[in-house]
């Protein structure tokens, strides 16, 4: 009885198929012969289906083609660069050189719903060249031409001058597919953070609302850079926008309060402690209050300006009923002043808490009274119990990293301050999370993650993706001739500075986008014998591909992460590779035999992949392999 052996799919994840399968899970009844019956879908959802051609939304020329870009799978691969990497065997930090659209497609299977944060600073739409293809079918070829890996005859790169007539459309066509694919990679509690200037902020917000859903928009932070543009006509902008979207805001907020540590809280507590220990309380409070006023702290931090009898730093907070409607009668019981024994005024709409809670607050000495009964009492809040604050909508940060770049002997125009980025990332990530930046630039995001790990003993991982755009004037032009080179070099030099003080992961795995290691069989049979045709189909591995290249492509396209654990074993004198403790077994050897297949089967792996060339002129062995593996419960057997 013959067995049908499946081929390993060498393309990136089929986005259309994935969406269709999700719809099938929700509405199996609307499928007929594996096709969607839209009439049934309308009946199922009733009035929630609109037949109107007039709908609210952002429209632009070329938007329909964006979906073709998304649906066109990548047939490229990522090739490991061990020699250029640092701590290859142990690190979980990744840098990928390549066009981010192709790379995002290649990461779909391996990192689907695994990324906690995507932090990007995309090219601002200022009328420059995009270095992205005009035709979606040529994306990988265009990238290879751009990087000089293939002849660039006939390949074009997108320019976006203001006179082109599609100034905004070109930029949106570049961003839409990338953001669509990026959303797939986010965890359910994942967050997208995007820097943007005034040229496209309105369009980008609407674009993200379409992809992520308006209900998942968290907000727009204004970054006041404290440095107006000197060459501006009209309004002189000194700010950028930082848009924040959640994959699922409701789920995110159920797990996180979306707050950040008060930046100066520890400093305030230390100052109060030093004054409390050496001065009488009245003098300590006077000096402490004076010191607080002179500091460049936020208003919320400056409010904690008093020290109590036990040395606790505190502030008063209104206890007024928060709603516009009047509170129930029980919320209007007056508080009696402890010295005058007279009732104090209560808020117009009542207290925030019922009388029983107010009584408990009194007993715990958590209500602050004025000198007499004329002042409305406040709730006493301790700084040590309120070390976090809501993320404000305006952030002021006027520093730059120019001095840092001088110190590490590199040069890059307008890098984002890594400490500013670190402050934004910090409250939203936890140990084990992955931060992705697919417009990496000089890898400020990676630097920010490294700083977080060092400062708070965290274990956050990063994935950086950057196109090798040519640059000059880096300080070392002979060695660093592209942004991706500079980005990698920055990470290496920065991690060298942390080696003495940090026990966190300071390594870096480097990969580069390239053509698949497996040549596509053209099927051009004219003037070829059947034997020649079969050999072309079987022996289709690029002769320039290393064993590591081939392994990487197989496990990546089988859905494993780029940092997966790989062990080499020798079974029946053949080398086999175990991916993630036998979750996948790969054998790249030729001249396979029953012995090695039996020994692999005994391991009971979840999946097995062999090369077709291993079964060359051994059709019976191939059929036996399927039976042997199946007898040990191994159903997933593929060849390539």
pTM exceeding the 0.75 threshold for the entire prediction: yes
- Domain endpoint, select from 486, 513, 540: 513
- 70 vs 62: CA distance, rounded Å: 13
**pLDDT digits over 263-290, tens only?**
899 999 999 999 999 999 999 999 999 9
pLDDT tier at 194, thresholds 50, 70, 90? very high
For residue 532, report the phi and psi dihedrals to the nearest 5 degrees: -65, -40
Same domain, 103 and 218: yes
State the distance between the two ends of the chain, measured CA to CA, in whole angstroms: 22
137: exposed, middle or buried (C-beta count within 10 Å: 0-12, 13-18, 19+)? Answer: exposed
User: Of how many residues is the chain composed?
Assistant: 640
**pLDDT digits over 321-345, tens only?**
998 889 999 999 999 999 999 999 9
Count CB atoms within 10 A of the CB of residue 587.
20
Identify whether 46 is part of a domain: yes
Same domain, 549 and 574: yes
Closest CA to 447 of 190, 186, 95, 122: 95
Identify whether 133 is part of a domain: no
CB 68 within 8 A of CB 100: no
Identify whether 437 is part of a domain: yes
Same domain, 235 and 100: yes
pLDDT tier at 190, thresholds 50, 70, 90? very high
- 149 vs 143: CA distance, rounded Å: 9
Same domain, 395 and 503: yes
Give the pLDDT mean for 230-235: 68
Same domain, 107 and 218: yes
505 vs 94, 114, 428, 567, 579, CA distance in Å? Answer: 11, 19, 20, 21, 22
User: Which runs of consecutive H residues, i.e. helices, occur in 328-457?
Assistant: 355-363, 402-407, 418-425, 444-456
Give the pLDDT mean for 474-503: 83
pLDDT at 157 exceeding the cut of 80: no
Tell me the two tokens of residue 451. 């700083």
Same domain, 217 and 109: yes
Angle, alpha carbons 38-40-43 (nearest 5°):
110
- Domain endpoint, select from 357, 388, 419: 388
User: What pLDDT does residue 136 have?
Assistant: 44
For residue 515, report the phi and psi dihedrals to the nearest 5 degrees: -65, 160
Sheet order of strands, 313-317 included: 306-307, 313-317, 378-382, 367-368
User: What pLDDT does residue 112 have?
Assistant: 96
Same domain, 553 and 439: no
Identify whether 486 is part of a domain: yes
CB 442 within 8 A of CB 123: no
Residues 6+ apart with CB under 8 A from 144: 150, 514, 515
Residue 283 structural domain? 261-388
User: What pLDDT does residue 126 have?
Assistant: 65
Identify whether 159 is part of a domain: no
The percentage of the chain sitting over the pLDDT mark of 90, rounded to a whole number, equals 58
Identify whether 304 is part of a domain: yes
CB 461 within 8 A of CB 433: yes
Angle between helices 444-456 and 418-425 (to 10 degrees): 60
Domain CATH code at residue 215:
3.40.50.150
pLDDT at 48 exceeding the cut of 80: no
Identify whether 150 is part of a domain: no
Same domain, 484 and 578: no
Same domain, 536 and 605: yes
- 173 vs 64: CA distance, rounded Å: 9
Give 520's DSSP letter. P
- Domain endpoint, select from 326, 361, 388: 388
Tell me the two tokens of residue 186. 């986010």
Closest CA to 600 of 589, 617, 409, 22: 589
Identify whether 127 is part of a domain: no
Q: Which residue has the tokens 């698949």?
A: 516
**pLDDT digits over 300-314, tens only?**
889 999 999 999 999
Same domain, 200 and 295: no
pLDDT tier at 601, thresholds 50, 70, 90? very high
Chain mean pLDDT for the chain: 87
Give the pLDDT mean for 175-182: 95
Count of the separate structural domains present in the chain: 3
Same domain, 242 and 290: no
Same domain, 84 and 193: yes
pLDDT at 354 exceeding the cut of 90: yes
């Amino acid at each position: 009885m013959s067995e049908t052996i499946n081929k390993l799919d060498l393309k990136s994840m089929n986005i259309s198929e994935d969406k269709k399968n999700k719809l099938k899970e929700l509405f199996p009844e609307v499928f007929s012969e594996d096709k969607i019956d839209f009439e049934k879908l309308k009946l199922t959802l009733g009035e929630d289906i609109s037949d109107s051609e007039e709908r609210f939304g952002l429209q632009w020329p070329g938007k329909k083609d964006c979906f073709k870009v998304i649906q066109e799978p990548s047939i490229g691969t990522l090739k490991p660069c061990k020699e250029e990497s640092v701590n290859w065997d142990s690190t979980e930090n990744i840098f990928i050189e390549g066009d981010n659209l192709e790379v995002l497609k290649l990461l779909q299977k391996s990192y689907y719903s695994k990324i906690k944060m995507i932090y990007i600073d995309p090219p601002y739409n200022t009328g420059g060249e995009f270095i992205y293809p005009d035709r979606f079918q040529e994306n990988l070829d265009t990238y290879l031409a751009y990087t000089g890996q293939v002849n660039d005859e006939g390949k074009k790169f997108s320019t976006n001058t203001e006179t082109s007539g599609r100034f905004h459309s070109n930029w949106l066509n570049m961003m839409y597919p990338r953001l669509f694919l990026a959303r797939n990679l986010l965890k359910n509690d994942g967050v997208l953070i995007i820097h943007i200037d005034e040229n496209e902020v309105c369009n980008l917000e609407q674009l993200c609302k379409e992809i992520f859903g308006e209900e998942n928009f968290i907000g727009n932070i204004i970054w006041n850079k404290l440095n107006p543009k000197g060459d501006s006509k009209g309004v002189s902008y000194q700010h950028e926008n930082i848009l924040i979207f959640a994959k699922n805001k409701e789920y995110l907020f159920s797990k996180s309060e979306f707050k950040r540590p008060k930046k100066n809280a520890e400093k305030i507590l230390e100052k109060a402690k030093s004054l409390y220990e050496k001065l009488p309380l009245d003098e300590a409070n006077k000096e402490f209050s004076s010191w607080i006023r002179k500091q460049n702290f936020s208003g919320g931090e400056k409010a904690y300006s008093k020290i109590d009898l036990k040395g606790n730093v505190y502030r008063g907070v209104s206890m007024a009923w928060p709603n516009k409607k009047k509170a129930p009668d029980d919320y209007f019981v007056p508080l009696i002043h402890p010295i005058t024994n007279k009732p104090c005024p209560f808020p117009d709409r009542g207290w925030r808490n019922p009388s029983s809670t107010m009584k408990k607050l009194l007993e715990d000495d958590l209500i602050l009274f004025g000198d007499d009964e004329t002042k409305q009492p406040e709730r006493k809040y301790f700084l040590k119990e309120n070390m976090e604050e809501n993320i404000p909508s305006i952030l002021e940060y006027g520093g730059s990293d120019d001095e840092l770049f001088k110190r590490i002997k590199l040069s890059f125009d307008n890098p984002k301050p890594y400490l500013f980025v670190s402050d934004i990332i910090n409250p939203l990530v936890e140990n084990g999370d992955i931060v992705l930046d697919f417009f990496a630039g000089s890898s400020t995001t990676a630097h920010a993650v490294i700083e977080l790990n060092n400062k708070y003993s965290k274990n956050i991982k990063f994935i950086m993706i950057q196109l090798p755009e040519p640059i000059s004037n880096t300080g070392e032009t002979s060695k660093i001739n592209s942004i991706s080179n500079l980005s990698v070099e920055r990470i290496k030099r920065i991690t060298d500075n942390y080696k003495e003080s940090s026990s966190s992961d300071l390594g870096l795995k480097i990969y580069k986008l390239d053509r698949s290691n497996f040549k596509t069989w053209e099927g051009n049979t004219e003037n070829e014998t059947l034997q020649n045709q079969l050999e072309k189909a079987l022996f289709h591995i690029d002769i320039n591909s290393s064993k590591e290249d081939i392994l990487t492509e197989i496990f990546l396209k089988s859905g494993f992460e780029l940092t997966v654990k790989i062990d080499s074993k020798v079974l029946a004198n053949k080398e086999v590779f175990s991916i993630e403790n036998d979750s996948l077994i790969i054998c790249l050897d030729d001249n396979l035999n029953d012995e090695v297949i039996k020994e692999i089967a005994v391991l009971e792996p979840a999946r097995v992949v062999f090369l077709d060339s291993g079964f060359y002129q051994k059709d019976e062995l191939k059929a036996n392999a399927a039976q042997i593996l199946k007898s040990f419960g191994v159903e997933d057997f593929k060849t390539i």
